[in-house]
Amino acid sequence: MIKAVRGTRDLLPPETALWNFVESAVRDVFRTYNFQEIRTPIFESTELFARGVGEETDIVSKEMFTWEDRGRAESDKGNSLTLRPENTAGVVRAYIEHKLWDRGLNKLYYIGPQFRRERPQKGRYRQFYQIGAEVIGPPSAGSESPARDAEVLEMLATLLDRLGIQNWTLELNSVGSSAERAKFNDALRVALEPVKNQMCSDCQRRAVTNPLRVFDCKVPEDQPIIEKLPRISEYLDEPCRQHFEQVKEILKAVGVAFQENSRLVRGLDYYTRTAFEFTHGALGAQNAILGGGRYDGLSEALGGPAAPGIGFAIGEDRLVLALTESAEAVLRKPDVYIAPLGAGINKEAAHLARELRRHDVVVELGDETFRLKKSFEAATKAGAKYILIVGENEVTANAFALKNLATGEQVSVPRAELAARIQK
């Protein structure tokens, strides 16, 4: 038997209804904040991610699905392509390629699959889905303003509330500018030198290549050492400190609760200033429901003009997992099962189904070859609220037997009143 590849999965009904519910709710929220959708390709040149995500990151150094494109012209041979592991690099590439700065401030969102070769577990897949957004534009359009950071964070709080997701925590930090981070990395290297041999093998490697990443370590024995390391907040210059203060002030003014977490450093190299994560208690080990931050130097790193920006990516798989408890309300069962009774009656039943569906009634349509008992069983299995009997007598009378499957109550309803009666 051929099975889905490890780390990938099929999304099946009824769960797909939850995915649709999530996507339509977030599109509604994006609309009121005046965000517009962008769709970029699922694969891009490997170089885009090497430069836009960072060679030193776990994503680029070990998680990308990359291949050589042999089918292309001789001159392009050896062109390395990669399935996108995230979407910010693609959006910023599109911003540069299509000179979107002409439009001033861009507020863009995307929904789509991303690919990372991670060890699969609950809430972690090799093909997963992200809902993300980017606010990006020239500095003259206000793209650097702390008001944009706060607006994005407030939108996320609204979005989670709208979806009925409770018990989320917003963790917030400022990771400063790249110059401050370089100083901080130096300080970390010094602080790690005498202790790194007592740490896990990942941390020993990080201590040399990218000391900041030590803060991602989850190994319990390493935590007391990490707790004593210097914090980025001690290295922020005055403009970064003030930027962070203003973000926090606006959040307080609009009533969005947050926790400062000076250990939060995020996974991508290009982040500057504001960095954040929303976590959710019910998700277990993979409890980050979304992450994001500011990336003021990314456009330049990709060969574009200065274009400060801030964005986030929500893990849609985890969002749906967090929703599963309250899922009942979202899953719409058939309102009515139409049971055609007797040879030649399918066409009458089809006509009736068409009328009811035009009134937004959810109809499951049976078949005239089914005996009444079988129709009742099918209606019950489908979870329909009513069964509607369409036999010759009913067609002649233009009134139909409508039975409530939960209460057993049965009434004869004239054709013109059916939709209203079913939806009552």
* Residues near ligand AMP, by CB under 6 A: 86, 116, 118, 123-125, 128, 130, 267, 288-291, 313, 315, 317-318
SS3 state at 176: coil
Nearest approach, Cβ of residue 267 and ligand AMP (Å): 5
Judging by beta carbons within 10 Å of its beta carbon (0-12, 13-18, 19+), is residue 365 exposed, middle or buried? buried
Whichever of 137 and 291 has its CB closer to ligand AMP, that residue is 291
Residue number, nearest CB to ligand AMP: 315
Structure tokens at 297: 């130097």
Whichever of 63 and 355 has its CB closer to ligand AMP, that residue is 63
Whichever of 318 and 403 has its CB closer to ligand AMP, that residue is 318
Whichever of 317 and 335 has its CB closer to ligand AMP, that residue is 317
Nearest approach, Cβ of residue 85 and ligand AMP (Å): 8
- SS3 for 392-412 is HHHHHHCEEEEEECCCCCEEE
Nearest approach, Cβ of residue 361 and ligand AMP (Å): 37
Whichever of 291 and 297 has its CB closer to ligand AMP, that residue is 291
SS3 state at 153: helix
Query: Per-residue DSSP letters for 95-110?
Result: HHHTTGGGGSSEEEEE
Nearest approach, Cβ of residue 288 and ligand AMP (Å): 4
Token pair 């836009």: residue: 52
Whichever of 125 and 235 has its CB closer to ligand AMP, that residue is 125
Nearest approach, Cβ of residue 303 and ligand AMP (Å): 22
Judging by beta carbons within 10 Å of its beta carbon (0-12, 13-18, 19+), is residue 218 exposed, middle or buried? exposed
Q: Which residues pair with 292 in a beta bridge?
A: 276, 312
Q: What distance in Å separates the CA atoms of residue 249 and residue 270, rounded to the nearest whole number?
A: 25
Nearest approach, Cβ of residue 265 and ligand AMP (Å): 11
Nearest approach, Cβ of residue 263 and ligand AMP (Å): 15
Whichever of 84 and 181 has its CB closer to ligand AMP, that residue is 84
Query: Per-residue DSSP letters for 328-395?
Result: GGT-PPPSEEEEE-STT-HHHHHHHHHHHHHTT--EEE--TTS-HHHHHHHHHHHT-SEEEEE-HHHH
